[in-house]
Structure 1
Amino acid sequence: MNTTFSRTLLATSTLFISATSMAGGFQVNEHSATGLGRAFAGEAVIADNASVLSRNAAAMTMFDKDAISVGMTVVKPDVSVKDSTYYGLNGNIDISNSLLKPIPEISGTQTPVYLEDIDGVAPTAVVPNFYYIHPINEKFAVGVAAYSNFGTGTEFESDYAAPIFGGKTSVQSMNLGLSLAYRANEHLSFGGGLDVIYGVGDLYRDINADMHGNIDITIPFKPGIHESGDITGQINALDVHATGVGFGANIGMVYEVNEGNRFGLSYKYSPEIEAKGDVKYLAASQQSDKIYLPLPDIAEFSGFHMITDKTAIHYSIQWIGWSAFDTIETEYDTIKEYHWKDSYHYAIGATHYLNNKWILRTGYMYDQTPVDELTSISIPDSDRQWFSAGFTYNWSSNTAIDFGFTYLIGEDVEVNERMEESLSIPSITATTHADAILAAIQLSHSF
C-alpha cells in the first residue's frame, strides 16, 4: 500500500468514518428513549432507569431493585449533496512506486462535470440497546450494557457520476460493558467498568477513468498492476469487508447534595480499533489487511435539580476528544490525514412529573462538529441543533414504557475535496446538508 495512488483510493472511503452519523463526527448518542426525549440533558446523573449505564456507572448505587431496560431508536436522516462539480481522470497518467517518482504524474484536460442535486444518500437505521443493573447490597451494584457509541452509513446510487467520492458505506458497532459501582457514603458514589467494542464495515467505491499511457501501480511484496495502455470507463477502486475489536474503560462519580439535587461526572476511554478483513483495490486483492482507527475519549458533566415538587431541570456538557482522530494508518503506512478538532455538545432539558402514570420531558442540544478544514461529501458533518420531546407511561409501579422524539437540524457545508491533496484531480466541490428525525421506544422494568 505504498503507492500514493493506491493509498488515497483507500483513504477516500476509510472504514468507520465515511458517512453521516447523527452526532458530531461518527459518534452515536442514541442510547435510550428517555435520553432522546430530553436531548440527553442530565444523562450522566438522572438515573430514571437502567439506561444510565451508558453514561455513568456510578449512578447504579441509586437503584435499590434489579432494573432492566431494552429499547431501540429509529434514525431517519435527510442528507443532500447539491451544487456539485466533479473533475475526473481524463488524460495521461503514470503511477509507479520508485523512489524517484513517489507521486503520480497526471496530465491532460480537467473538464468539469456538473452533477444533479441528490438527497436520501443516508439510509434509515435502527440502533438497539439493552441494560441490566443488579444491586448487591447497600454499598455495591453491578451492571451489564449493550449499546453503540460509534457507527454510520451512506449509499450513493451506482450511476453517481463521482463514484470515488460516493459509493456505499455500511458500518455497525456494538459496545458490550461490565460495570461495578460503590457507595462511599450517603452523598458520594463511584463507578467504573470495562468495554468491548466490536465493529463491522462494508465499503465499495468505483472510479471513472479515461487514462492513457504508462499505468504502473506497484505494491512491495504483494500483487499489483503493471500494464501499459488505456483504462477507460468505470473500474472498481475499493471493495472492503472488515471487522475489528477494541477494549475500552470508563469511570464515573455521582454527588447527591440531597434528594432533589445531584451532579454526575464520567469519563470514557476509547481504544484504537484494529480492523482486519478482505481488501480489494484496483484489481489487487489483499487478505487480512489491517486498518488502525483511533477513537475519541468522552467526558461528561451533568446536573439535576428539582425546582418544584413536580418539575426538574437538568443539563449536560460533553467533551469528545476528536483531536485523537488525526490520521488513519495501515500496517504499512499512513493512508489519510483528517486533523479533526475536539468538540463539545451542550444540552439543557426539563422533566415534569405529571402524576403517577405520566412523566413529560423536553430538551435542546447544540452539537459541535469536529470536522475542521478537510471537508468531504462522504462526511457531511456540521454543527447541529437537537429539538426533543418525550414521555413515560408507567404501566404499573414496576413497569414503564418510554417514547422519545427529536428533530435534528444541520447546516450547509461548502466542500472542496480531493482524492489526494497533492493532486488536482479527481476532485469535487459541493454543498452538503444533513437533517434527521429520530424516534425511540423503550421498556423498563424493576423487580
Structure 2
Amino acid sequence: MKKFTVSCLAIAGLSSYQVHSAGFQLNSQSVAGLGRAFAGDAIIADNAAVIAKNAAAMSLLDRPTLSIGAIAIDSKVELTDILYTPPSSSTQSLGDTTIDNLTVVPNFHYVHPVEHSRWTLGTTLHSNFGTDVEFDRDFAAPEFGGTTKLSSVNFGLSAAYEATDALSLGLGIDIIYGKGEISRPNLLNIDADGTAVGFNTGIAYIINDNHRLGLSYRYAPSLDASGTVDPLNGLATDLSVPLPDILEFSGYHRLHNRFALHYSLQYITWSEFDALTSPSFDDPIKDYQWQDAGHLSLGMTYDLQERTELRAGYMYDLSPVDQINSLSIPDSDRHWFTLGATHNFSQALSVDVALGYIVGEETKIDESMTIVRTSNIAALTNNSAWLAGLQLNYRF
C-alpha cells in the first residue's frame, strides 16, 4: 500500500471542503491551462508550465522560457436540510451552513533547451494539493466539523529527449513537502509534516505542424508523517494514507490558421485511497473506499490578432466517492466553465489571464460516527468556486 504523509492528509484525509477538483486534487499549475479547462495540457506547450503535466512536451519549446503565475480560488460549500442526531439524544434540525474560503496558489516553471543537443531541462515549483477549511466553533455537530489546513509544495526536476523529429521522451523527479493540521474537538488532533520523492514520465508525438499528441504518467509518492497524531487520546507519531497515480492523454489539432481544438482525458487511481491508517493502531482511523475516477476536458483557442490569443474550455470532473460518503469530504461530480487570453507584448514577454467557474452537483450526505455511542448527520451539499489567474511568461 502506498502511503502519504499526514501533512498532505489534510488534502486527502478527514476533511476537505476544497472544491477546486473532484477528490482533493488541485489543478492550478498553469493560468493558460485554466483558460482552456486544462484541455490539451500534456501537449500544447505554450509556456514553461507544460513541465508540470508532461516533461516530454518541453521539447516543443525552442527558447529558454520562464513562467510565473498564481491562481486565486474563491470556494463555497452550502449545507442545507441538516439533520443531526447526537449521542444519547433525539434528532434535531440545524440551520443552513455556508463555508467560504479564499486561497491563492502560486506557481513557477523554467524550461531550458540545451544548445546544440536534443536535450531540454526544466524545473518547476507548484502545489498539487491544498485546502484551508474551518467550521464555526459553535457548529452543533463538532465531531463532523472542526478545522483542516494544508499547504504543500512540489519541487520538480525534469529532462526531455528528442528521440526523432516526431517523438520526444520525458522523465522527471518530484520532491514534495507538505504541512497539515486537522482537529476535531475531543476526537482528533493532527499536526505534522513530511517530505517524499516521486517521479513522472511522458511521451510527446508530433504528427505534423498542426496535430500532436501527449501521454504522461505520474507516480504518487510514499510519504511518512512525523508529528502529533491523536485520535481520541490514542497517541501516535505516524499516519498513512494512500495516494493515487495519474495518467493523462492530450491532443491538439489546429483546424484553421487561427483556430485549434484540444482535449485531455485524465485517469486517477482513486481506488488506492481506501483508508487512513497508522502503524500504532490495528483498525483504520477512517475508511473511504473510493473508486477510480478522473476528468474529460475540451478546449479551443482562437488567434484574435497577431499578438492576442483567446481560449475557452469545459471539464467534466468525476467524483471518486463511492458507497461511503462523508460530510468532511462532500465531494460530487463537477462542471468547469473557463475563459482565458494571452497577450504578447513582444516576442519575449507575454501575459496570461483566465477566469473559471466550477459548480458541483447536489449531493446527499448521510454519515454516522461511533465513539462511545453513535451519532449521525445528514445534509444536502452544494459546492461551487470562482477561479482567477494571472501569469507572466518570458522567453530569453
Letter in 1 for 2:74: K
> What aligned pairs does 1:270-419 form with structure 2 within 5 A after superposition?
270-282=220-232, 284=233, 286=235, 289-333=237-281, 334-419=284-369
Q: Is 2:395 the partner of 1:446?
A: yes
The amino acid across from 2:375 in the alignment is P
| Matching residue of 1:28 | 26
Q: Is this contact kept in 2: 1:148–1:173, CA < 8 A?
A: yes
Q: Give the residue type in structure 2 aligned to 1:322.
A: W
Match of 2:83 among 85, 93, 102: 85
Amino acid at match of 2:42: A
Question: What SS class does the counterpart of residue 245 from structure 1 fall into?
Answer: strand
Partner of 2:161: 182
8 Å Cα contact 2:83-2:378 kept in structure 1: yes
What one-letter code is carried by the residue in structure 2 that aligns with 1:144? T
Whether the 8 Å contact between 2:246 and 2:269 is mirrored in structure 1 is yes
In the alignment, the residues of structure 2 paired with residue 363 and residue 16 of structure 1 have an alpha-carbon distance, to the nearest angstrom, of: 26
Distance in 2 (CA, whole Å) between partners of 1:424 and 1:48 is 57
State the partner residue of 2:182.
203
Larger CA deviation: 49-58 vs 329-338? 329-338
Aligned partner of 1:19 in structure 2 is 16
Cα RMSD of the aligned pairs, angstroms, is 1.7
Cα drift, residue 15 of structure 1: 3.7
SS in 1 for 2:22: coil
SS in 1 for 2:143: coil
The 2-side partners of 1:409 and 1:319 are apart by 21
How far apart, in 1, do the equivalents of 2:295 and 2:231 lie?
38
* Distance across 2 between alignment mates of 1:33 and 1:326: 32
Unaligned 5+ segments in structure 2 are 1-5
Q: Using the alignment, how far apart are the partners of 2:231 and 2:22 within structure 1?
A: 29
Identity of aligned residues (%): 43
Aligned partners of 1:135 and 1:88: how far apart in 2?
A: 62
Q: Deviations over 1:196-240 (max 9, x none)?
A: 11111111211xxxxxxxxxxxxxxxxxxxxxxxxxxxxx32232
Q: Could you tell me whether the CA contact under 8 Å between 1:20 and 1:122 is conserved in 2?
A: no
**1:384 partner amino acid:** R
Instruction: Provide TM-score, normalisation by structure 2.
Output: 0.93
Counterpart amino acid of residue 246 in structure 2: I
Counterpart-to-counterpart distance in 1, 2:337 and 2:10: 30
**Within 2, Cα distance between the matches of 1:122 and 1:38?**
25
Matched with 1:49 is 47
SS in 2 for 1:124: strand
1:117 aligns with 2:96: yes
Instruction: Tell me whether 1:436 sits opposite 2:378 in the alignment.
Output: no
Partner of 1:168: 147
2:203 aligns with: 253
Give, in angstroms, the shift of residue 122 of structure 1. Answer: 4.1
After superposition, the Cα gap between the structure-2 partners of 1:413 and 1:339, relative to the gap in structure 1 and judged at 3 Å, is same
SS at 2:59 equivalent: helix
CA contact under 8 A between 1:278 and 1:285: conserved in structure 2? no
Deviation at 1:427, TM superposition (A): 1.3
Could you tell me whether the CA contact under 8 Å between 2:10 and 2:131 is conserved in 1?
A: no
Query: Number of paired residues?
Result: 384
**What is the rounded CA distance, in whole Å, between the counterparts of 2:369 and 2:197 in structure 1?**
32
Deviations 1:29-74 (A, max 9, x none): 1111100000000000000000001100001111121101010000
C-alpha separation between the residues in 1 aligned to 2:383 and 2:37?
18
Q: CA deviation at 1:423?
A: 8.1
TM-score by length of 1: 0.83
Distance 2:319 2:145 in 1: 21
Task: Answer whether contact 1:122 1:155 (CA < 8 A) is retained.
Answer: no
- Distance in 2 separating the partners of 1:354 and 1:61: 26
**The structure with more radius of gyration:** 1
Deviation track 1:155-213 (CA, whole Å, cap 9, x = no partner) reads: 1100000011011111111111100100011100000111011111111211xxxxxxx
Q: Take 2:10 and 2:372, find their aligned partners in 1: how far apart are those partners? A: 22
Equivalent residue, structure 2, for 1:209:
none
Contiguous gaps of at least 5 residues in structure 1: 1-10, 91-109, 207-235
| Deviations, residues 12-31 of structure 1 (Å, cap 9, x unaligned) | x9643311231111000111
Q: Is the 8 A contact 2:87 2:373 kept in 1?
A: no
- The residue type equivalent to 2:159 in the other structure is L
Letter of the 1:350 partner, please give it: M
Letter in 2 for 1:371: V
Deviation of 1:332 after TM superposition, in Å, equals 2.0
